[in-house]
Amino acid sequence: MSATERIEKTLESLVDFYGKEKRKKLCNDVVIHGRGASAASEFELDFARRLFGESKKKKVLVDYPISFGKYRTDSGKTKKKTIYSDILVTEQNFLKGIIEAKIDLGFLNYERYGIRKKNRSYFYEKKHNLFKKDYALLLQTGGFSYRYPVGFKHPKDFHIIIPKDAEVSRILLVVTRSNDHGRYEKFRESVIDSGFCFLCILENTHPNEHPEKNEDLREWSNRIKRKMHDEVWAKTKEIEETFGELLT
């Protein structure tokens, strides 16, 4: 199955997730549902499983705390830095790829990417790009560690080597450009400046679009999936080039 087919299946599952959340809000009950569950967490896990779940060589960390380097606290203590990458792809204890995945840019912490707002416009300042600095520091350390399983007694420590003589694939995936609040172009600039390949799948469709008036949710789901299909396959060359090396 190609990367494009796997991504399309992931996006269809994302629409199904949103459909379930919409149904919860329509229930006629004493207890009514407001804010939905985290679609981002579901998406990251499903995306990683569909792309790499059948691999016998790779181990993939999703939203996992990883520790590397050292820094000194205000109190003088020395600690390791910890970050949570969306998806880290490893193979035989070597880091092969980093994937950051965003459904949209609506709740983006844009200041972390060096993006500032002035007079209703956004601009990018390289010196404030903490996203770039964090990953530059990680890739310079030569390795990081993680514990498995998280939240259990006596977890086992694992160490992942970051190769010096091989390129680590770095990808930032945005599902849809919709709901970007005018930050898309500056965000793209920041990501590329950080050494990541930038890939946006959908230009005009959002997996969580509002249903039309009196539209049945099953009809809504099928309509969104048809719209997504055309947009996904219009990007197939870019998708395969972006993920091809990681899937081998």
pLDDT for 93-106, tens place per residue?
A: 999 999 999 999 99
How confident is the model at residue 69, as a pLDDT?
Answer: 78
How confident is the model at residue 77, as a pLDDT?
Answer: 79
How confident is the model at residue 36, as a pLDDT?
Answer: 63
How confident is the model at residue 6, as a pLDDT?
Answer: 96
Report residue 83 as tokens.
Answer: 């970050």
Write the single-letter amino acid at 106.
Answer: G
Lowest mean pLDDT among 72-81, 158-167, 218-227: 72-81
Give the whole-angstrom CA distance, residue 101 versus residue 194. Answer: 15
How confident is the model at residue 37, as a pLDDT?
Answer: 65
Average pLDDT (113-128) is 93
Q: What is the 3-state secondary structure (H, E, C) of 37-84?
A: CCHHHHHHHHHHHHHHCCCCCEEEEEEEEEEEEEEECCCCCEEEEEEE
Average pLDDT (212-225) is 94
How confident is the model at residue 21, as a pLDDT?
Answer: 87
Quote the Cα angle for 155-171-88, to 5°: 10
How confident is the model at residue 81, as a pLDDT?
Answer: 84
Domain count, the chain: 1
* pLDDT at residue 201 is higher than 80: yes
Average pLDDT (122-140) is 94
How confident is the model at residue 1, as a pLDDT?
Answer: 87
How confident is the model at residue 187, as a pLDDT?
Answer: 97
How confident is the model at residue 70, as a pLDDT?
Answer: 74
* pLDDT at residue 114 is higher than 70: yes
27-40 tens-digit pLDDT: 777 777 666 668 99
Orientation of helix 39-52 relative to helix 3-25, angle to 10°:
150
* pLDDT at residue 197 is higher than 90: yes
Residues 6+ apart with CB under 8 A from 209: 178, 220, 224
How confident is the model at residue 23, as a pLDDT?
Answer: 85
- Residue 239's nearest CA partner among 193, 202, 190 is 202
How confident is the model at residue 120, as a pLDDT?
Answer: 85
More confident residue, 197 or 152: 197
DSSP-derived 3-state class of residue 162: coil
CB-CB contact of 45 with 62 (8 Å): yes
Residues 6+ apart with CB under 8 A from 106: 179, 180, 181
Q: How, if at all, do strands 113-118 and 94-102 pair?
A: unpaired
How confident is the model at residue 119, as a pLDDT?
Answer: 87
- Domain span at residue 20 reads 3-247
